[in-house]
Amino acid sequence: MGFPMSIVAPKTRKHLSADALFGLVRNSFAHIPDDRLSETDIVLADALLAAFALFALKAPSLLAFDQERVEGNVHTIYGIARVPCDPHMREILAPVSPKWLRPVCTSVCRHRQRGKALEAMTFLDDHYLLALDGPEYFSSKTMHWASCVQRVHRNGSVT
């Protein structure tokens, strides 16, 4: 063409990289109290990170995730020292109250917001439009929380 062409890569923001965000999640999980009474062979933060990895890797099943665990990818990507197997993960995480997880999500969102990574997702009235997996994972006609999405059915019942 007669003149050199160059590709200008966008400036990367290291604090918004996957490694940095995984570190933020790992640090937040480390501050969640572990109320297990007996000696623990796997720390709570590792079990929480394993559950996070299960969804982040979009494993189609716990069996598929267990294969990732065996291959060592979970150790490498998420920095988990010991990954629990399926029944052990359920046993460790069952008593953990969801109230401890909300600050972790809030922290990641605030971090991305400050880094202007969410601006492209601005929607109606400066809200963010995010696609999340599992919108119908759990529903109940008897239990409700302030942050739940409620569906009013034609017969007047609420789910």
Q: Round to whole Å and give the CA distance between 66 and 146.
A: 35
Tokens standing for 122?
Answer: 């601005």
Q: pLDDT-derived band of residue 9, with 50, 70 and 90 as boundaries?
A: very low
Q: Round to whole Å and give the CA distance between 5 and 143.
A: 61
Buried b / exposed e along 134-156 (16+ C-beta atoms within 10 A)? eeeeeeeeeeeeeeeeeeeeeee
The DSSP secondary-structure symbol of 12 reads P
Task: Compute the average pLDDT of residues 99-119.
Answer: 85
Task: Report the chain's C-alpha Rg in angstroms.
Answer: 20
pLDDT of 2 over the 60 cut? no
Q: Round to whole Å and give the CA distance between 148 and 48.
A: 22
Yes or no: say if 49 and 109 are a contact pair by the CB < 8 Å rule. Answer: no
pLDDT of 40 over the 80 cut? no
Tokens standing for 32?
Answer: 């969640």
Least confident residue range of 77-86, 92-101, 136-145, 148-157: 136-145
Evaluate the CA torsion angle 44, 49, 50, 55 in order and state its sign. positive
In 3-state terms, what secondary structure has residue 23? helix
Least confident residue range of 30-44, 56-70, 105-119: 56-70
In 3-state terms, what secondary structure has residue 41? coil
Q: Round to whole Å and give the CA distance between 117 and 2.
A: 38
Instruction: Give this prediction's pTM.
Output: 0.67
